[in-house]
Chains A and B, each alone.
Chain A
Amino acid sequence: MKSNLIKAACIAGLSTALTATAGPSFAQQAGREIVLGAIVPSSGPFAEWGRANTVTLQMLERQINGSGGVNGAKLRIEILDDATKPAQATNNLRKLAGDDKVLAVAGPLTSSAAEVTFPVANEMKTVATSQASSKPGVAKLNRPWAFRNTIDEGVLGRTTVPYYKKTFNIKTVAIIYDAKDATAATVGSRIMPALMKENEIDVLNANDPLSFNTGDLDVSAQVTKMKALNPDGIVVSADYSQAVTVIREMKRQGILKPVVGSTQLISSAILKAAPEIPIIAPATFYATMKGDKPEKFVSELQPLLRKTSGLPAEIEPSMYDANIYEIVSIYIDAIKSAGVSGKAEDLEADRTKIRDYMAKLVGFPGLGGPIGFNDDGDAIKAFYILHGENGSWQSKVRGCSTAPGHPGC
């Protein structure tokens, strides 16, 4: 009867009310605390990245507070886990921006999360900067509040491929990519073929794309096909945890040809897959980088990472750790130089100041060189073409993701 329905609605309403009011709330002490937010994947398939990011941010927080805070106020970085689920990332942003009233957010990490979270950043008028998303156009679609401290893979490829061609005398390649991963699929099916054409390298499997799915254990069929084509080199467009599967199969089947790919390959894990196969990929940071700033960063962060339970004993600071460190450093710089008060009543104005500061940013001293942002919201920063072989990465070429109308690196 109708009454049962009403009872059901009452139960539902009661549950909602209980859940809505029982959650914790965060009060910001106006003026005495500066709060920033971060969204990282601390559980799920990228748990290691999220946990390493967390350690990095905690280190930064301690460093800043140890040297007087931000304009005298204490810094607090509120870190939320999105469990590698895009829906959780959007709710995290709503919580950070709406409830916790943070001044800006670092994250989310993946492009899938960024695609749905950046629109929310615009809705809530809070800056969100991704530390790892490199799928082309994600920030561009979501101006003016979305930024990425990464470089578009297409831009990076334009320096990577010529170096690859020259070093190994490549005339033909075969391309294999992870069809389930949006960034990898875009790079493997659109960006790399175009770059190969630009560099007059023949893609032997142009009419027969080779792909696999994230999580596949067995790529023997695809690699056997590649072997039959006998290319000079192989393009592997996939996240390194999946690329490991391909490279190991290549080694098993005796294809010891040089590999080229996107930033997704950069890791220490991939160097262990088949040390005799050279791997060429671009990076904006790597753990053995030379220079005062990066060396100091690594020497401080590495012991902390290795001590953290749940992280492997030989872990090194990654590009994503460096990126998120830079993002929050930029935010702090913005707060210091753009007249951000940190008071509750100035929240909207403060956030706008941070946004404008970032849009105009030029020459911020990052870990790998100066950083700025282009009109698409992506970073203008130095990058390095790395050559990985026999267990270590060597930097070979330095490039810069310059954009018209903006100063270079």
Chain B
Amino acid sequence: MMSTYYAGLLADVGILLLGALSVYVILATGQLSLGNAGFMGIGAYLTSYLTVTAGIPLTAALMMAAAASGLIGVVIGFPALRLKGIYLAMATLGFGEMVRSFFLNFEAMGGSGGFDGMRHVSLAYIWSWAAAILLLVAILERSQLWLEMRAVSDDETAAGLVGLNTTTIKVGAFGFAAAVAAVAGGLFAHHHVYIEPGNFSFERSIDFVLAVILGGSTVGAGALVGALLLVMLPEYLRFLAEWRFAVFGALLIAMLLVRRQGLLDRSLLGMFGSRRPA
């Protein structure tokens, strides 16, 4: 019987895992998104509206919110095609801030006062979604589509010359990621049963990126390791009292210096079994 403290932490891990996966999928096509908290926010508010005001059951609400957010992700994905590297990252950052600013002014759902009324969901429910999407990404990683995505990431011009539809791949990645982040948001809303615009800030977007980079940026399961690290580590560093965050920052730097691909990578994963020839 797990203590509710660890249950609460694991719920946070599951939600962060989904957010990290949303960054991971986009990163796989060579794009860095610093604004996925915006999609999380859209998902959170939309799902909450559907369950609280429209009385729709949670699972259906999550799927609807994911679909809507995915659509927005696709819409964002098109102009994103024109931008590369840091410029794209900045644009996504701007997008995230605009979404947060929007909800801050959106009085219909509380504005800065926040929105509540959601019903609490169990840890098991959160992890059914988290595990399902992790599985989905794992399957995706073994598919032909993934190879195409990696090709686009490695050399977009060449990929286009070889006949890959780089537009569909890149925009599709944004759409899928937006849907996943929206699910993260919906689950967040129903775990904490209160949301406010401040929950979906740049800091949240950076947390997603941190989880991917620290946990392992080359495999999907890395997002899981990263999420565990980011949630559990501050708890274990409590004994450091007022130097807790400084040590966390130092550990972050140390990790990047020592193992820049993140904790988990293909070879570590492969150590546990026979590797499929690459």
Out of A7, A123, A180, which one reaches B104, CB within 8 Å? A180
Q: At the interface, is chain B mostly helix, strand, loop or mixed?
A: helix
- Contact code string B213-247 (vs A, CB < 8 Å = 1, else 0): 00000011100110010001011101001101100
Known: A81-B241, A91-B9, A91-B12. A86 touches B232 (CB 8 A): no
Q: Which residues of B contact A218 (CB under 8 A)?
A: none
Whether B192 lies near A90 (C-beta < 8 A) is: yes
Whether A8 lies near B224 (C-beta < 8 A) is: yes
Out of B105, B114, B234, which one reaches A88, CB within 8 Å? B234
Whether A8 lies near B138 (C-beta < 8 A) is: yes
Q: CA separation between A11 and B242, bound complex, in Å?
A: 32
Q: CA separation between A83 and B269, bound complex, in Å?
A: 34
Known: A115-B114, A116-B194. A10 touches B272 (CB 8 A): yes
Whether A20 lies near B138 (C-beta < 8 A) is: no
Of residues 101 through 127 on chain B, the ones whose CB sits less than 8 Å from some CB of chain A are 104-105, 111-114, 116, 120
Q: Which residues of B contact A10 (CB under 8 A)?
A: 272
Q: At the interface, is chain A mostly helix, strand, loop or mixed?
A: helix
Total chain B interface residues with beta-carbon distance under 8 A: 51
Q: Which of B3, B5, B270 has the most CB of A within 10 A?
A: B5
Nearest B residue to A124, CB-CB = B4
Known: A81-B241, A91-B5, A95-B5. A115 touches B194 (CB 8 A): yes
Answer yes or no: B82 CB below 8 A from chain A CBs.
no
Whether A99 lies near B5 (C-beta < 8 A) is: yes
Of residues 76 through 109 on chain A, the ones whose CB sits less than 8 Å from some CB of chain B are 80-81, 83, 86-88, 90-91, 94-95, 97-99
- Give the number of A-B contacts (CB < 8 Å): 128
Answer yes or no: B135 CB below 8 A from chain A CBs.
yes
Q: Which of A65-73, A164-172, A181-189, A269-277 contacts B (4 or more CB under 8 A)?
A: A181-189
Chain A proximity of B250: nearest CB distance (Å): 15
The interface of chain B, by Cβ under 8 A from chain A, is 2-10, 12, 104-105, 111-114, 116, 120, 135, 138, 142, 192-194, 196-199, 219-221, 224-225, 228, 232, 234-236, 238, 241-242, 244-245, 264, 269-270, 272-276
Given A119-B193, A123-B4, 15 more pairs with CB closer than 8 A: A1-B273, A3-B272, A9-B221, A12-B228, A15-B228, A16-B228, A19-B232, A43-B244, A86-B192, A87-B12, A94-B7, A112-B198, A119-B120, A179-B105, A180-B198
A-B contact pairs, 15 of them (CB 8 A): A5-B135, A6-B273, A8-B221, A9-B221, A19-B228, A81-B244, A83-B245, A91-B235, A94-B3, A94-B5, A116-B193, A119-B120, A124-B4, A141-B116, A185-B111
